[in-house]
Amino acid sequence: MQKDWLIVGDVHGCRAELDALLAKAEFRPEQTELIFVGDLINKGPDSEGVLERAVAYNARMVLGNHETNFLEQARAGTFRPGSMSRVAEQMGPRLGKWVDYLERQPFWLIRPQLLVVHAGLHPSLALEDTPPRILTRIRTWGENGLFMDREQDPPWYHFYQGDATVVYGHWARAGLVMRERTIGLDSGCVYGFQLSALRWPQRELIQVNAFETYVQVPLD
C-alpha cells in the first residue's frame, strides 16, 4: 500500500513554521511521505533550512516559480540584487549542491486520483504538453492565455474537468481554497497568515499560524 502523503503549501523559507506544522501533524517519515507544492524558497528567513528539511525527510516536491527563477539566475551565473540573491548568499559554497537538487525536481507529482502542481493547469492542454511557465504561474485564464493573472478573468480551476483532485499553491491572495476537485494550499505564511498542509487521502487539513509577518502585503 502506498504511504499517505502530507502535502505542504508554499513555505517560502518559513522553516520554523514548517517545523511546527510537521510537529502538529505528528509527521513521521517512516509512515508518511512529505510532499511540497513548490515555492519552498525565497521571501522568508530560512530558505536553505527548508531545503535541508526536504532532504532530511526524503520529501518530494514540485517546482514553483521561485525555484525556476532561482535556477534561471543560477544558470546565468548572477543573481539580481534582492531576496533571491540573499537566498544564494545564505547557501554560500553549497549553492551548486542546491542547484543540482532543484534541477532534479519535477513539475508535477501524481498518484491515483491526485495531481500536485505548483500553480494550476491549462484549460485544455494535456499535462505533458503544458509549458512549465503555465504550470508554475497560472492563476486565471484570459484572452486565450494572453493573461494568466488578471483579477477579472476566471480562475484556472473553473475549466478543470478531470477526475483527479488537483492540489496546488501559488495563490496566497486567494488563501486556502478547498473545492471538491481542486485544493489551493497557499495560505500566505510568509505574509503573516498560515502555513497549511493536507493529509491525503484523508483530506485532513492541518494549519499553523505564522510566527511573524516576514513580507508585507500586497500578496504575490
Residues that bind Mn ion (CB under 5 A): 39, 64-65, 170
Smallest distance, Mn ion to C-beta of residue 38, A: 6
> How would you classify the pairing of strands 182-184 and 177-178?
antiparallel
- Classify 100 in phi/psi space as left (phi over 0), alpha (psi -120 to 50) or beta: alpha
Smallest distance, Mn ion to C-beta of residue 187, A: 13
Smallest distance, Mn ion to C-beta of residue 117, A: 11
Alpha carbon distance 43, 214 (integer Å): 7
Q: In terms of CB distance, is 68 or 207 closer to Mn ion?
A: 68
Smallest distance, Mn ion to C-beta of residue 123, A: 19
Q: In terms of CB distance, is 15 or 43 closer to Mn ion?
A: 43
Written in H, E and C, the secondary structure of the chain is CCCEEEEECCCCCCHHHHHHHHHHCCCCCCCEEEEECCCCCCCCCCHHHHHHHHHHCCCEECCCHHHHHHHHHHHHCCCCCCHHHHHHHHHHHHHHHHHHHHHCCCCEEEECCEEEECCCCCCCCCHHHCCHHHHHHCCECEHHHCECCCCCCCEHHHHCCCCCEEEECCCCCCCCEECCCEEECCCEHHHCCEEEEEEECCCEEEEEECCCCCCCCCCC
Q: In terms of CB distance, is 32 or 84 closer to Mn ion?
A: 84
Q: In terms of CB distance, is 15 or 66 closer to Mn ion?
A: 66
Q: In terms of CB distance, is 122 or 170 closer to Mn ion?
A: 170
Alpha carbon distance 184, 9 (integer Å): 8
Position closest to Mn ion via CB: 170
Smallest distance, Mn ion to C-beta of residue 202, A: 26
Q: In terms of CB distance, is 32 or 136 closer to Mn ion?
A: 136
Smallest distance, Mn ion to C-beta of residue 65, A: 5
